[in-house]
Amino acid sequence: MRALIQRVSEAAVKVDGKVVGEIGPGLLVLVCAMQGDNAENARVLADKILKLRIFRDDAGRMNRALTDTGGSALVVSQFTLAADTSRGNRPGFSTAAAPDEGEQLYELFSKNLSDAGIEVANGVFGADMAVSLINDGPVTIWMER
């Protein structure tokens, strides 16, 4: 699985002009299941993100994890993270998991975060979404399983 993580002051996702998920301080996690991914990949990626020390401590250093801050996570599916741009000008997405598998892993990933005590808001899998955020830092990190 792949994820693009952004430390945010706030974030929201809309579908058809209606807010379907929003958070205050925490992480916006854009996530993509890849071909061959499984439940273990979703668990490992969620665990890595939970432990990622990218929040400021009292000295202003990035030394705290999401679990230390009481922050939330907005998890949004984004198959375009599977983009292959190695040839031509049009990205290919054939390495993304099939939609049914991708949705199961997306939901499992979100559940793994929630089971760890994180408040989780979600987008709508496969929908055309409008995501807004205030990137804090900015801090943006790319991760794979």
Q: What are phi and psi of 110, to 5 degrees?
A: -60, -40
CA 128 to centroid of chain Cα atoms: 16
To the query of whether residue 104 is one of the catalytic residues in this protein, the response is: no
55, 78, 104, 109: the catalytic one is: 78
To the query of whether residue 80 is one of the catalytic residues in this protein, the response is: yes
To the query of whether residue 85 is one of the catalytic residues in this protein, the response is: no
Say if residues 91 and 100 touch (Cβ distance below 8 Å): no
Beta strand 72-77 with 62-64: parallel, antiparallel or unpaired? Answer: unpaired
Say if residues 62 and 29 touch (Cβ distance below 8 Å): no
Q: Give the integer Cα–Cα distance in Å for 105 and 126.
A: 13
Record the tokens describing residue 95, joined without a space.
């390495």
80, 85, 95, 125: the catalytic one is: 80
55, 79, 104, 109: the catalytic one is: 79
Q: Give the integer Cα–Cα distance in Å for 21 and 14.
A: 7
| Residues catalogued as catalytic | 78-80
